[in-house]
Amino acid sequence: MLYRVLAGVVLYLALPVIWVSLGVWMLVAPVRFVGFIDENVAHLPEARRGLAVQLAIRVLGAGLIAFAVHFVGNALAALRK
């Protein structure tokens, strides 16, 4: 029983941390993020230096951070009830 509770707590703590760190990486270094995706998934190969792609990656990063904040806010609101 305690194992399930701890697994849930770790999951609810780890997911927002991962989302925020990925979002910050997308905001700070969009070219490196696109290069990582290109090398590991072979997606977006020709769009490394495009300004529009960098802007889109930064917007996605900001959205990911906003989603993590929203997720934590909803989890805390559910705990208060």
Residues 4-59 have pLDDT tens digits of 888 888 888 899 999 999 999 999 999 899 888 888 877 656 655 688 888 999 99
Report the pLDDT value the prediction gives residue 12, as an integer from 0 to 100. Answer: 84
What is the domain partition of the chain in residue ranges? 2-75
Report the pLDDT value the prediction gives residue 8, as an integer from 0 to 100. Answer: 81
Residues 65-75 have pLDDT tens digits of 999 999 999 98
Quick one: tokens of 24? 């910050």
Model confidence pTM above 0.95: no
Report the pLDDT value the prediction gives residue 21, as an integer from 0 to 100. Answer: 95
Neighbours of 17 (CB within 10 A): 10
Q: Yes or no: say if 57 and 33 are a contact pair by the CB < 8 Å rule.
A: yes
